[in-house]
A and B are shown apart, each in its own frame.
Chain A
């Protein structure tokens, strides 16, 4: 591959911005077109509803022959996501196909939020809880979503305050 960005990545990025998937936002980093900042809104009727989950996505050199690397940046209580935010999803591993895209990957992650799969766990303790007492697990997931969101609100309002202060003193 030559130094330039492959047409495929350019096209995909354009389309992601022009026709975004409902509930998903993905923007390339200003300095690295292969690095995306992603946020997925917690789907309705799930314990993640009301939360906004940040992820990072990176397209390796071999992309699209190799899968993109995706990781949750926001803490989430989910049987297929571990403490470090790594995701257990077959299309990110052996079931990757070059015909899949960033869009399809993000849709799959959104779907994973709606349908946790404790039988193929990454975070064993969470999956165990999910199997033993699903109601309690869902409660915990809701709890985590709430705290994380509050923190995010505080964080955004603080950073807004900071920006306005900076603007005033410049």
Chain B
């Protein structure tokens, strides 16, 4: 990421300046490509993956919520507790609340289950029986919401604790009608510190859940939140736990596939993966000499150690046909006569189609895992070189950059397969073409990275530039937002 670009972003959105530090970190993590030439900078302005977000902790999120609560309190003169209920009900849309308040202030509160729709008869007697425990109690140790249904404080407490157990907080109703009791009354009722803390925590969860611009980081025990400017299915990198996820669905980031499709795909994979795993066993035979070959690197360009035959891991075809010519093995060729075949054959064809895409998806996922190993090896190699006085640490950084870019491209590549699987014909040819182009460059880069002593820095930078451009082209053309 160039600095020029960050500045332009700041000038567009003055509000983002307060989060400048976070922003820099996030974008740098993702786009760090120290040696990129100036020419790339201008292209980045229309980077289809660029997305503005900040990682915040729960205190910061609470501040955001509280500001809106105070605003509503002042504007329509209600208690904080009521304002919070209204905001949760209206997904934090203050405009909607104020508009409704202008039109029908009483209606707003009735619909929000804050006041009863019919006036209530207040009990006048000093002592009464609690309708839940049937104990005699005085007015001073009973509580009621605005509906006037009075119960003794002990019963209220037992009730609230039970409701908390089933996960309710802002949704706790009166024991006799559906009026909401709200935060103020709940905290007055709940005496124990643990219960109060639990209530606050659940209430905060409710607040987060309905806020359209804030969501929890899905990382294990992360506890941080992400806040965006416009809610979109884009990439979030948590600066706390390094999880990478989609803002809209919270699943692993899945561009260019959309949230709905990736969910369908992942469900399908869960159902079918055992069969597929069995079929895509870990080894293949060399198509030339028949030696058993285990894939232990990320690159699909294989070279048999025994016979030196170059072939493609995906299609087992000769690698020569993959080099300069049209790279085709990311494209699934369906049988054109399929409509005329029997149901059995059609089912087999459907399974074949699924396996085709699944195998590629899985293959890239595996490669991504192995890429970690490659990265570790590169680090080791650089260390050795520096120790032997062959260049400095800085001189070899391009290798790490290349590995990082390779992982990024492979990640996108992996998520093109679910997209392709569910794609209707129409633009499929173009998609598959671009997919193939990207795959070819990824494999080239991967190949070079595994044999870095044979290539110079210029080779790498050239290859990285091409691969990233292919990736961007594909995303620009097919990213639906």
Contact = CB atoms under 8 A, between A and B. Distances in A.
Contacts of B134: 7-8, 11-12
Interface stretch (B103-111, B154-162, B361-369, B421-429): B154-162
B62 interface: no
Interface string A86-108: 00000000000111000000000
Nearest to B135: A7
A99 B132 contact: yes
A140 to B, nearest CB: 37
Contacts of A97: 173, 175-176
A41 interface: no
B159 A98 contact: yes
Given A97-B175, A98-B155, A99-B175, A66 B133 contact: no
Q: Categorize the interface residue count of chain A.
A: 10 to 19
A151 to B, nearest CB: 39
A15 B296 CA distance: 79
Q: Categorize the interface residue count of chain B.
A: 10 to 19
Interface in A1-44: 6-8, 11-12
Contacts of A66: 162
A7 B136 CA distance: 11
A64 interface: yes
B365 to A, nearest CB: 42
A65 B162 contact: yes
A97 B173 CA distance: 9
B131 interface: yes
A62 interface: yes
Interface in B133-152: 133-135, 149, 151
A65 B160 CA distance: 9
A161 B26 CA distance: 87
Contacts of B133: 6-8, 64
A7 B133 CA distance: 7
A65 B159 contact: yes
Interface string A71-83: 0000000000000
Contacts of A99: 131-132, 149, 151, 175-176
A65 B155 CA distance: 8
Interface of B: 131-135, 149, 151, 155, 158-159, 162, 173, 175-176
6 contacts: A6-B133, A64-B132, A65-B162, A97-B173, A99-B149, A99-B176
Interface of A: 6-8, 11-12, 62, 64-66, 97-99
